[in-house]
């Protein structure tokens, strides 16, 4: 199966980059959970956060995600655009018969997450875990494809947002 159709769609929708991956190119590392727990101010608040009740642990996600064989990585400097494109790719892949297609992206559905106020998610069908919060080392993974990513050193630096769509 060629993923060229989905790459072209991502670029047409405004992605800065879109690349195909095989599952062996995804760098799984459960240490990402430490960065979430001890580095993210959203810990315990958002509905897509690995801290939420009933959330899978990174090693559980790894077992599930390794059942996929391929997918695409979407890069944008616009968080919402990255997520919107990933949903569009997932939808198209589903319509094409890949009924297990699944997108992951930092959630940007709402201006302010309802979970931060203790309320239920306003978009439970669209709220998905971030690529990094499921135990994927985004830095190591995207660097394999020569995509831009750096730790931010100063306020105002360009943020690179990554989404992934697992397609099978």
In this prediction, residue 43 carries a pLDDT of 79
Q: What is the pLDDT of residue 89?
A: 97
Q: How far apart are CA 86 and CA 92, in angstroms?
A: 10
For position 99, what pLDDT does the model report? 97
Q: What is the pLDDT of residue 82?
A: 94
In this structure, the number of other CB atoms found within 10 A of the CB of residue 83 comes to 25
Mean pLDDT for back-to-back runs of 10 residues, the chain (168 residues): 94 98 96 84 75 84 96 95 95 97 88 77 82 91 94 88 95
Q: Which two tokens stand for residue 95?
A: 């319509």
Strands (E), 2-89: 17-22, 70-76
- Tell me what pLDDT residue 72 has: 97
**What integer pLDDT is reported at residue 133 of this predicted model?**
86
Distance CA 58, CA 30 (A): 5
Cβ neighbours for 146, distance < 8 A, ≥ 6 positions apart:
none
* 150 Cβ neighbours under 8 A, 6+ residues apart: 157, 160
* pLDDT for the residue numbered 37: 80
Question: Which distant-in-sequence residues (6+ apart) come within 8 Å of 156 by Cβ?
Answer: none
Q: How many domains does the chain have?
A: 1
pTM attached to this predicted model: 0.89
State the DSSP code for 157.
P
Q: List phi, psi (to 5°) of 122.
A: -80, -20
Question: 125: domain range?
Answer: 4-167
């Amino acid at each position: 199966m060629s993923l060229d159709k989905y790459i072209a769609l991502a670029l047409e929708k405004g992605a800065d980059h879109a690349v195909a991956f095989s599952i062996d190119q995804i760098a799984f590392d459960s240490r990402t959970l430490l960065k979430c727990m001890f580095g993210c101010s959203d810990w315990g608040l958002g509905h897509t956060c690995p801290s939420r009740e009933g959330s899978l642990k990174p090693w559980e996600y790894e077992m599930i995600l390794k059942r996929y064989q391929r997918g695409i990585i979407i890069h944008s400097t616009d968080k919402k655009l990255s997520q919107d494109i990933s949903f569009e790719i997932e939808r198209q892949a589903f319509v094409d018969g890949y009924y297990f297609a699944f997108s992951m992206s930092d959630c940007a559905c709402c201006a302010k997450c309802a979970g931060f106020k203790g309320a239920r998610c306003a978009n439970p069908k669209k709220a998905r875990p971030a690529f990094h919060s499921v135990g994927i080392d985004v830095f190591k993974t995207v660097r394999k494809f020569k995509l831009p990513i750096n730790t931010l050193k100063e306020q105002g630096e360009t943020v690179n947002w990554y989404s992934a769509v697992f397609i099978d």
